[in-house]
A and B are shown apart, each in its own frame.
Chain A
Amino acid sequence: MLRFDNVTRTYGSRVAVDHLTLSLERGELFALLGHNGAGKTTTIKMLVGLLKPSSGTIYVGPYDVTHNPREVSRLVGYVPDLPFLYDKLSGREFLRFVADMYGMPEAAAKEAVDREAERFQLKDFQDQLTESYSHGMRQRTVFAAAMIHQPDVLVVDEPMVGLDPHSIRLVKDLLKSYSQSGKIVLMSTHTLTVAEEIADRVGVMKSGKIVFEGKVEELRSSIPDAGQSLESLYLALMGEGEPSE
Chain B
Amino acid sequence: MSDAARVNDSPPMAMSLAYALPTHEREGQIFWRLRVLMVRAHLRFLFHHARLRTSLVIGLSLFFWIGLFVLFYKGFDFVIRYVDTPGSRYHADVMLFVFPLFFLSLQVMLIFSSGIILYGGLYPSRETEYLMTLPVRDERLVYYRFQEAVLFSSWGFFLLASPMLLAYGLVTKAPWYYYAYLLPLMASFAYIPCSLGAICCLLLIYRLPQARRIAVGAIALAIIVIAYHSIWKTLEFSESEFLGNAWFKETLRRFRFAREEWLPSTWLSNALIEAVRRSHNNPRDLPWLAAGKYFVVLVSNALVLHLAVIWTGRRLFRPSYWELHSRRAKKPKLTLAWVDVAAGWLLVGFPRQTRLLIMKDLRLFRRDPVQWSQFLIFFGLLLLYFANVDRFREHKGDINVMTWVNIVSFLNLAVVGLILSTFTTRFIYPLISLEGRRFWILSLLPVDRDTILWSKFLFAACGSWLPCAALVGISDVMLDVSIMVVAVHQLICLLLCLGLAGMAVGFGAMMPNFREQSPSKIAAGFGGTLNLVLSALYIMAVVLMTALPCHFYLLSGKTDLPPKLLQPEYLRFWLMLGIFASVVLAGIVTILPLRGGLKSFRRLEV
Chain A nearest Cβ from B234, distance in angstroms: 48
Chain B: how many interface residues by the 8 Å CB criterion?
47
B325 interface residue (CB < 8 Å to A): yes
With a cutoff of 8 Å between Cβ atoms, the chain B residues found around residue A129 in the complex are: 41
- CB pair B10–A100 under 8 Å, yes or no, is no
Q: Which one, B131-139, B220-228, B550-558, is touching chain A?
A: B131-139
- Known contacts: A12-B328, A151-B16. The answer to whether A86 contacts B38 by CB under 8 A is yes
Q: Which residue of A has the minimal Cβ distance to B40?
A: A88
- Known contacts: A11-B327, A169-B2. The answer to whether A150 contacts B15 by CB under 8 A is yes
B334 interface residue (CB < 8 Å to A): no
> Scoring A residues 187 to 213 as 1 if CB is less than 8 Å from chain B, else 0, what string do you get?
000000000000000000000000000
- Known contacts: A151-B16, A177-B7. The answer to whether A78 contacts B42 by CB under 8 A is no
What is the bound-complex CA distance between A173 and B328, given in angstroms? 38
- CB pair B5–A177 under 8 Å, yes or no, is yes
Chain B nearest Cβ from A155, distance in angstroms: 9
The one of A49, A120, A177 that contacts B132, using a Cβ cutoff of 8 Å: A49
Chain A: how many interface residues by the 8 Å CB criterion?
57
Chain A nearest Cβ from B317, distance in angstroms: 11
What is the bound-complex CA distance between A89 and B2, given in angstroms? 28
> Scoring A residues 160 to 174 as 1 if CB is less than 8 Å from chain B, else 0, what string do you get?
000000000110011
Q: Which one, B17-25, B174-182, B419-427, B466-474, is touching chain A?
A: B17-25
Chain B nearest Cβ from A132, distance in angstroms: 9
Q: Which residue of A has the minimal Cβ distance to B134?
A: A101
- CB pair A88–B15 under 8 Å, yes or no, is no
Q: Which residue of B has the minimal Cβ distance to A176?
A: B1
- CB pair A103–B19 under 8 Å, yes or no, is yes
What is the bound-complex CA distance between A11 and B4, given in angstroms? 42
B6 interface residue (CB < 8 Å to A): yes
Q: Which one, B91-99, B122-130, B385-393, is touching chain A?
A: B122-130
What is the bound-complex CA distance between A235 and B129, given in angstroms? 33
What is the bound-complex CA distance between A150 and B16, given in angstroms? 6
B45 interface residue (CB < 8 Å to A): yes
- Known contacts: A13-B328, A51-B325. The answer to whether A181 contacts B8 by CB under 8 A is yes
- CB pair A103–B10 under 8 Å, yes or no, is no
B30 interface residue (CB < 8 Å to A): yes
What is the bound-complex CA distance between A120 and B3, given in angstroms? 11
- CB pair A104–B8 under 8 Å, yes or no, is no
Chain A nearest Cβ from B28, distance in angstroms: 12
Q: Which residue of B has the minimal Cβ distance to A182?
A: B10
B322 interface residue (CB < 8 Å to A): yes
- CB pair A70–B137 under 8 Å, yes or no, is yes
B211 interface residue (CB < 8 Å to A): no
Q: Which residue of B has the minimal Cβ distance to A83?
A: B130
A9 interface residue (CB < 8 Å to B): yes
- Known contacts: A52-B326, A170-B2. The answer to whether A75 contacts B14 by CB under 8 A is yes
A6 interface residue (CB < 8 Å to B): no
B11 interface residue (CB < 8 Å to A): yes
A149 interface residue (CB < 8 Å to B): yes
> Scoring B residues 317 to 340 as 1 if CB is less than 8 Å from chain A, else 0, what string do you get?
011011001111100000000000
Q: Which residue of A has the minimal Cβ distance to B19?
A: A103
Chain A nearest Cβ from B33, distance in angstroms: 8
B37 interface residue (CB < 8 Å to A): yes
- CB pair B16–A149 under 8 Å, yes or no, is yes
* From A9, A54, A105, A178, residue with most partner B Cβ within 10 Å: A178
With a cutoff of 8 Å between Cβ atoms, the chain A residues found around residue B604 in the complex are: none
B62 interface residue (CB < 8 Å to A): no
Q: What are 6 A-B residue pairs whose CB atoms fall within 8 Å in the complex?
A: A84-B129, A88-B37, A103-B19, A119-B4, A149-B16, A181-B8
Given contacts A80-B129, A102-B134, 14 further A-B contacts (CB under 8 A): A13-B328, A52-B319, A73-B135, A74-B16, A84-B129, A89-B37, A97-B34, A101-B136, A102-B16, A102-B21, A119-B7, A150-B10, A150-B15, A177-B8
State the A residues within 8 Å of B (CB).
Answer: 9-14, 48-52, 54, 69-71, 73-76, 78, 80, 82, 84, 86, 88-89, 93, 97-98, 100-105, 108, 118-121, 129, 147, 149-152, 169-170, 173-174, 176-178, 180-183
